[in-house]
Amino acid sequence: MTDLSVEVCGLKLRNPTMLASGVLDETGKSMVEVAKSGAGAIVTKSVGSTPREGHGTPSVVELENGLLNAMGLPNPGIDLYSEEIEIALTAGVPVIGSVFGGTEDEIASLAAKMEGTGVHAVELNLSCPHARGYGAEIGSTPELVESICRKAKSRTSIPIFAKLTPNTPSIGDLALAAERGGADAVVAINTLKGMAISPEARMPILANKVGGLSGPAIKPVGVRCVFEIHEAVDIPVIGVGGIASGRDAVEYIMAGASAVQIGTAVWMHGPGIFSKVSGEVLKFMKENSYSKVKDMVGVAHADGR
């Protein structure tokens, strides 16, 4: 028997795919739809303490091989959004609540509030590439990553995932800091900082000028980051960045990911991508005599870790 199910930090997933934060997660209804389409788990929209409008438009640029976006973390705030989470929780798959904040105290109290909504784990967005004072600005210093994780852990009793930025010289050091701070897993990678310019307008296309690059273009960066993190820490890694096929997912798993997240491919191809990716992973496992996903984790490392 070939078994697609995985267990990550005690969360039981029927297959190794999760919806990445930021796509089709505006409402409880859309998250339920994504679960119905085959996602093994759902990560919610990143929410903060208060409602936030986000950046002006254009906020997304479609590129040949990916997406560049600077939404600016628009969200209704955790109090209003908890109504959507309540609906998402009826989907019957694990729900991971994503939060962002400007200080470690704010992030820790958001994590505690998020736990109160009934989610199964919290993902700390330590890696938005451009919203000033949030995300990667605080998530690129190992000492801060460690203290944020420690404080969030002290206020919660469910697993804490730290979503890390690739915009750093050593993502292994960030992962190690998250592990030292008590994070139960790391998620890698968030988007890469990028820019697109309109030659006719002679100016950056995004209203925010700088945005986060996602999609197929960043897959090799994500695979390299997961590979490095797997060598640096013992906690599970969740791989994300440019996954649109079973082979993409298997690459991440062999680099060391225990599960994967899919975002841009959902935006590009719709929620049917989850059953497509899972089906292709299953086919690969059958053809290569793997009975469990776990048996593929990290096999690309020479020492088999």
Q: Which residues sit at the interface with ligand DHB, rule CB under 6 A? A: 69-73, 125, 127-129, 131, 135, 190-191, 212
User: Minimum Å distance from CB 193 to ligand DHB?
Assistant: 9
User: Minimum Å distance from CB 71 to ligand DHB?
Assistant: 4
User: Minimum Å distance from CB 10 to ligand DHB?
Assistant: 25
User: Minimum Å distance from CB 130 to ligand DHB?
Assistant: 6
User: Minimum Å distance from CB 75 to ligand DHB?
Assistant: 8
Q: Which is nearer to ligand DHB, 130 or 276 (CB)?
A: 130
Closest CA to 110 of 95, 94, 91, 123: 123
Q: Which is nearer to ligand DHB, 93 or 218 (CB)?
A: 218
Q: Which is nearer to ligand DHB, 19 or 300 (CB)?
A: 19
Q: Which is nearer to ligand DHB, 14 or 219 (CB)?
A: 219
Q: Which is nearer to ligand DHB, 126 or 183 (CB)?
A: 126
Crossing angle (nearest 10°) for helices 142-154 and 171-180: 30
Active site residues: 128
Closest CA to 121 of 174, 54, 186, 177: 186
- Report the residue number whose CB is nearest to ligand DHB: 212
CA–CA distance, 198 with 202 (Å, rounded to integer): 6
The answer to whether residues 224 and 276 touch, using CB atoms and an 8 Å cutoff, is: no
Q: Which is nearer to ligand DHB, 127 or 156 (CB)?
A: 127
Tokens of 292: 């469990």
User: Minimum Å distance from CB 192 to ligand DHB?
Assistant: 9
Amino acid at 32: V
